[in-house]
Structure 1
Amino acid sequence: MTAAPRTAPRTDTHLDTEAIRRLPKAVLHDHLDGGLRPATVVELADAAGHTLPTTDPDELAAWYVEAAGSGDLVRYIATFEHTLAVMQTREGLLRTAEEYALDLAADGVVYGEVRYAPELMVNGGLTLGEVVATVQEGLAAGMAKAAAAGTPVRVGTLLCGMRMFDRTREVADLAVAFRDAGVVGFDIAGAEDGFPPADHLAAFEHLRRESVPFTIHAGEAHGLPSIHQALQVCGAQRIGHGVRITEDIVDGKLGRLAGWVRDRRIALEMCPTSNLQTGAAASIAEHPITTLKDLGFRVTLNTDNRLVSGTTMTREMSLLVEQAGWTAADLRTVTVNAVKSAFIPFDERNALLRDVVLPGYESAL
């Protein structure tokens, strides 16, 4: 893509970190097993007899960021060994899910969608259904505590099938079964290159028949063919990451696929810090999210994995303000985009925008 980002980032001086933390936020792309508290990993690993690289929470947090910053998506994914090791029991799932909701609320998030793969959490003897029910119980406890503290957050769940395995149809069945119990959609995750989304077409066709929305990781480690297949063959309503849609944009002119994505308002779940770690982007200033926003794409801002990337929504927003010249209006745009593209009913999205998000930005504009 030859369309350039803004040449001279402008700093919105009244948007310091605390001001940004207070802004209402919405996150659509965040993995439960990538967002644990370091201290929780240490405590649960000790109880499970699992060996960690270090038992110091601060050192463990630094280890995650360093290991994930290799520029290699496969190594990035491998860092999940230790978080998954402590999410194999009812106790571990309840605690991590409850803390997930509380951590979002503390970061000013008012709506979040958390995704995880139930099939990766059955080594302790839980069934797929028990994993989902337990996570929902933990999230409900966290949301209740956040509301009682005056920082309400709504968290919906996306169930992930692992694209390199063969249980995606089972997980799709779970998404259908739990759609009235907090599960709002479906995704496939895992190594993208070499595992095309159409390999799981039966799962996506089943979800369409049952009117369950889904997103697909595409356009991160693999390019336009992955995005095209996710949209035009599998029927995804959103795209996870999608940074390589820029390969279909030359001198600001959109190709057919890029035009389809923009014109149909297909949300791109963009994760700047994560994309830097995996080598999908060179810097925050040069990350495609800014150019795509300016071209009118429905971009959304996300954390992907808060522990692994050492980030929060406040940090992602702050980086874009400081290094890419974003303003409060830009932050409002991506937040509104996220709420509009959430996998919850239209009237609930409208109420969230009208009553929470838009009023929350009035003083910042």
Structure 2
Amino acid sequence: MSIDQHGDAVLQGLSLRSLPKVSLHDHLDGALRPETILELADEVGLEVPEDSAEDLADWFAESCDSGSLVEYLKTFDLTTAVMQTTEGLRRVAREFVEDLVADGVIYGEVRWAPEQHLQRGLSLDEVVEAVQDGIEEGEDAAERAGRDIRVGQLITAMRHTDRSLEIAKLAVDWRERGAVGFDIAGPEDGFPPSRHRAAFDYLASEFFPVTVHAGEAAGLDSIRSALIDGRALRLGHGVRLANDLSVISRDREDVMVELGDLSRWVRDREIPLELSPSSNLQTGAIQAWGDELADHPFDLLYQLGFAVTVNVDNRTMSRTSLTRELALLAQAFEYDLDDLEVFQLNAAAGAFLPVEEREELIELIGEGFDR
């Protein structure tokens, strides 16, 4: 399989970009177009490391290829800096939706942390409103073009600050106006979900869905805390769950694996794993298994029956798209269209939507892959 310059590929005679997709783990401040960064930076008088969109795209990719989540996160200082005004937030959100539509996504969830966008005097409600306005502008433009997409906000708290309860209440306040779930993000190691138990208790009392970044830079204790303290319905990345698997025998055609209590719970409860292959390589999340995509435990988890989903994490930092991530996995593990459909069905089943809307989404995916 060859992947073209736009990240597309042809599998069994079909363009992967044309297939209906669901995106669950996609950061707003990790999905800015380089040309938009340059224009917004010029408007607010912000210095940028490169002068051209192409060079800036290279800068992001190279800066994020460190094998460290901490170093990876430093690049967000630039993207968040140009997302401090109503106009900037609205534009970024609108273009986020436009890029999803171009990628064949029919349902997406965008996660972002409102507390990081208050440097120019906006309030928490004002920044959420600006992002929602941009999302709706993108959805309306898609509808006019004959394309259907729905995008919900995952209101996110930063795990190394002390505003999670406040942000949780903000998320619930916006539940009928665009917010579909809650997350915590930022440096994972040393900042377990248990630090935010009050926020998670509140969200549980309000029956508000939660996904938690866990098992990316930290190990099994982080995942355990996400499930117990966070009541997470999905795991953001969760790739280090593979540490709870023990290979008990291996031959040329078969591998026998024993699951620990934690991994068995996640598998048997069909808790979706929001895996992001390219990002997991960049941040060193899979360094225990290797440094190539073929080393990623994605396929092992899939073969063992885990509810794996495919995600971009940060399109700008990984210079990727959902189509490209699917193409890379198909190339690495010889997946066919049936496999790629399973990944989309898993994502649809795990979407933070009412069951009737999830069933409709599943039907649309089935119809799209059948065509």
Q: TM-score range by the shorter chain?
A: over 0.9
Match of 2:165 in 1: 169
1:319 maps to 2:324 = no
Match of 2:36 among 36, 40, 57: 40
For normalisation by structure 2, the TM-score amounts to: 0.93
Which letter does structure 1 place at the counterpart of 2:39? E
Distance 1:209 1:344 in 2: 18
Match of 2:218 in 1: 222
Relative distance call for 1:55 and 1:17 in structure 2 (3 A) is farther
Which sections of structure 2, spanning at least 5 residues, go unmatched?
Answer: 1-8, 248-256
Match of 1:141 among 113, 130, 137: 137
Q: Secondary structure at the match of 2:212?
A: strand
Which letter does structure 2 place at the counterpart of 1:47? E
Contact 2:12–2:337 (Cα < 8 Å) also in 1? no
Distance 1:150 1:62 in 2: 34
Deviation (angstroms), 1:30: 0.5
Match of 1:201 in 2: 197
Tell which deviates more after alignment, 13-22 or 138-147: 13-22
Match of 1:98 among 75, 94, 99: 94
Report the number of matched residues: 350
Match of 2:316 in 1: 307
- Aligned-pair Cα RMSD in Å: 1.2
Deviation (angstroms), 1:14: 5.3
Match of 1:296 in 2: 305
Contact 1:272–1:284 (Cα < 8 Å) also in 2? yes
Q: Secondary structure at the match of 2:139?
A: helix
Distance 2:23 2:141 in 1: 20
Once superposed, which parts of structure 1, at least 4 consecutive aligned residues long, lie more than 4 Å away? none
Which sections of structure 1, spanning at least 5 residues, go unmatched?
Answer: 1-12
Deviations along 1:295-353, one digit per CA (max 9) or x if unpaired, are 10001100000001100001001101112211111110110000000001000010111
Distance 2:366 2:170 in 1: 34
Q: Which structure has more RCO (C-alpha within 8 Å, separation ≥ 6)?
A: 1
Which letter does structure 1 place at the counterpart of 2:25? H
Q: Secondary structure at the match of 2:22?
A: strand
Contact 2:27–2:110 (Cα < 8 Å) also in 1? yes
Relative distance call for 1:115 and 1:14 in structure 2 (3 A) is closer
Match of 1:80 in 2: 76
Distance 2:305 2:279 in 1: 23
Q: Secondary structure at the match of 2:216?
A: coil
Deviations along 1:16-46, one digit per CA (max 9) or x if unpaired, are 7971000111010000000011100000001
1:132 maps to 2:140 = no
Tell which deviates more after alignment, 324-333 or 117-126: 324-333
Relative distance call for 1:74 and 1:17 in structure 2 (3 A) is farther
- Quick one: percent identity of the two aligned structures? 51
Deviations along 1:56-94, one digit per CA (max 9) or x if unpaired, are 001001100100011111010000111111100000001
1:361 maps to 2:361 = no
Which letter does structure 1 place at the counterpart of 2:139? M
Deviations along 1:242-278, one digit per CA (max 9) or x if unpaired, are 0010111112111100000000110110000000000
1:254 maps to 2:259 = yes
Deviation (angstroms), 1:146: 1.1
Match of 2:347 in 1: 338
Deviation (angstroms), 1:151: 2.1
Contact 1:106–1:151 (Cα < 8 Å) also in 2? no
Contact 1:48–1:86 (Cα < 8 Å) also in 2? yes
Contact 2:210–2:230 (Cα < 8 Å) also in 1? no
Which letter does structure 1 place at the counterpart of 2:176? D
